[in-house]
């Protein structure tokens, strides 16, 4: 008799959790945001970059000031990234013929996710947020594979 009373709340809780869980569609959209971010640079498609980024996205990396030799955080905005996608690879010489673009899911919740993008020369840690049903990149922290390039 006790099992019957325990079984109903457990099943109800499992049902609620399944409703709140990330869907296959969410996984695809999160990965697509990360791919849009890197592929827009490969293919010179600023509209693809704009689609991936939240307008208030901030991208950061550490850099070394040449005059002082001190490290500092360097920031880039959505607007700058859209301009970068429009101009960075205009000559088609910034990436190999088959660029590396591996997306690893680090953590996914109902409306937030963290992914790691491993590209040719870079590693990007990306925070993605679901707003109004759409996954957008909110934060990026990146570094060169060879940190001496900073």
Widest distance between CA atoms in the chain: 77
H-helix or E-strand spanning residue 64: strand 53-64
pLDDT at 22: 72
* DSSP of 92-147: S-SS-SS--EEEEEEEE-SSEEEEEEEESSEEEEEEEEEETTEEEEEEEEEEESSG
d(CA 139, CA 126): 6
pLDDT at 17: 46
71-76 mean pLDDT: 97
Q: What is the percent of the chain with per-residue pLDDT over 90, rounded to a whole number?
A: 82
Helices (H) and strands (E) in the chain, counts: 4, 6
The pTM of this model reads: 0.83
d(CA 78, CA 41): 13
pLDDT digits (tens, 9 = 90+) for 83-125: 999 999 999 999 999 999 999 999 999 999 999 999 999 999 9
Mean pLDDT over each residue of the chain, to the nearest integer = 90
């Amino acid at each position: 008799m006790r099992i019957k009373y325990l079984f109903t709340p457990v099943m109800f809780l499992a049902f609620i959790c399944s409703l709140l869980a990330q869907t296959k569609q969410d996984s695809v959209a999160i990965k697509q945001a990360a791919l849009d971010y890197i592929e827009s640079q490969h293919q010179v498609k600023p509209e693809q970059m704009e689609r991936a980024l939240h307008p208030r996205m901030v991208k950061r990396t550490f850099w070394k000031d040449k005059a002082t030799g001190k490290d500092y955080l360097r920031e880039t905005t959505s607007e700058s990234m859209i301009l970068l996608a429009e101009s960075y690879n205009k000559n088609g010489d910034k990436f190999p013929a088959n660029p590396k673009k591996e997306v690893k899911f680090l953590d996914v919740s109902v409306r937030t996710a963290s992914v790691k993008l491993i590209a040719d020369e870079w590693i990007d840690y990306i925070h993605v947020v679901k707003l109004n049903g759409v996954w957008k990149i909110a934060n990026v922290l990146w570094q060169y594979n060879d940190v001496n390039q900073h």
